[in-house]
Amino acid sequence: MTKPLAASYVSTFLCAHVPLSHVAPGHLDLFKCDYKTGRILGNGTFGTVKEAIKISTGEKYALKVINKNHMRGREQLVRNEVKILKGISRGHRHIVTLHEYFETPNSLYLVLDLCSGGELFEYIMEKGSFYEENAAEIIRTVLDCVAYLHENNVVHRDIKEFYIHPFFGDAKIEFEPENLLFRSKDSLSQLMISDFGLSQTLETPDMMLSTKLGTPTYMAPEIFLHKGYGKPVDLWAIGVMTYFLLCGFFPFALEGGIVDEKVLRAEFYFEEPYWLDISSEAKDFISKLLCLNPNDRMTAIEAMKHPWMAFAPIQLGDGSKISSRVPTVDLLPAVGREFSKRSTLRKNPSAKTNPSVQSTHVVLDAVASELVTHESAMDVEYVNREGALMVQQSLE
């Protein structure tokens, strides 16, 4: 008799009653695969990320469990993420690897690399100091990932280091895991990019997208203006991210969850005293990313060659790092004040604060047609009477 699916286990079982004639050859696979779940790593609107151990090997992974009922017909976002990760996740050391994907009638499961070093936000706060060269190292890693994605005609569309769901009046503030995580706490070189739910593969390098979606604080003007957009939106987001890392607030404010109209004009400032100790190279780097015309923005490859990237330390073969620059001013005392506001909110969601200091995560006008997968595999589920049998989609 097949054992029931216990709350602490996620399992797939072989079952003689499965009509294998319904399974597309080479696309779906059934085999026993047991995971024991542990501590919760993060909670989001649609599900939970848990630490998990594969019983047969003892290896640790992150198990992303998504409740289909909460997705309300948006399961395609997850299947899109699976499709993207299957194509690119094993090709870059700073992109999380998707090891397995399977589902039950009620949930979707993604088995991913375990990033136990925490989120970027936490890393900076715990580090005790944060210099401009640290920010340059973080951005260099993100650019390296984006260059790889763009080379493979993938637009991420949701690059960010921090976000909070909007709140109005007495509405509950909700946090989700960031998509910039650390594999370990050893160094900044362990930074990983995750969460490809809003990513899109372009059929041609110059293909234009039209769906208005993303995180408003990081979204490029052409998305708000309902113009066609492509790879340059990721570079705009990196510009916003760089600005935030260096001063602790965003270049375009939010008021009650509404983005400042200045974003539509790419109008921003390096206000004193916040930017007094920041290098001219950093300001120039940001200015060449936050351009109104997407054709004027640096590409990821061009940005990696910008003089500001010389601020990032070079890692030697033995793991040590050297920097060609004299250490800059510690930014944490100033930047940390803004970070700590977010830390207070994260620990106490009922705390009153000005909505203008928050980032807002929304999916606007999500159109399924842009997220249609082109896989020939059938999305088939077979469930025994205990509800414990899952169909595993082969990643081969």
Angle at 335 between CA 333 and CA 337, to 5 degrees: 70
- CATH 1.10.510.10 segments of the chain: 119-368
- CATH 3.30.200.20 segments of the chain: 9-113+375-393
pLDDT in tens, the chain (396 residues): 444 434 344 443 322 223 333 333 443 343 345 788 888 887 766 778 899 999 889 999 999 888 888 877 777 788 888 999 999 988 899 999 999 988 888 888 899 999 888 888 778 888 788 899 999 999 999 999 999 999 999 999 999 876 554 433 333 434 444 688 888 877 666 889 988 888 999 999 889 999 988 888 899 999 999 889 999 999 999 999 999 999 988 998 766 556 778 999 999 999 988 899 999 999 999 999 999 999 999 999 999 999 999 998 766 554 555 665 656 788 888 777 766 665 554 555 444 443 333 333 333 333 222 332 222 222 322 222 233 333 333 333
What CATH number should be reported for the domain whose range is 9-113+375-393? 3.30.200.20
The architecture in CATH of the region 119-368 reads Orthogonal Bundle (1.10)
CB 301 within 8 A of CB 147: yes
Residue 64 known to bind ligand:
yes
In the set 29, 34, 144, 158, the catalytic residue is 158
What's residue 319's pLDDT? Answer: 52
Q: Is 158 an annotated catalytic residue?
A: yes
Rounded to whole angstroms, the Cα distance separating 18 from 216 reads: 45
What's residue 178's pLDDT? Answer: 66
396: nearest Cα among 151, 113, 98: 98
Q: Please give the model's pTM, rounded to 2 decimal places.
A: 0.76
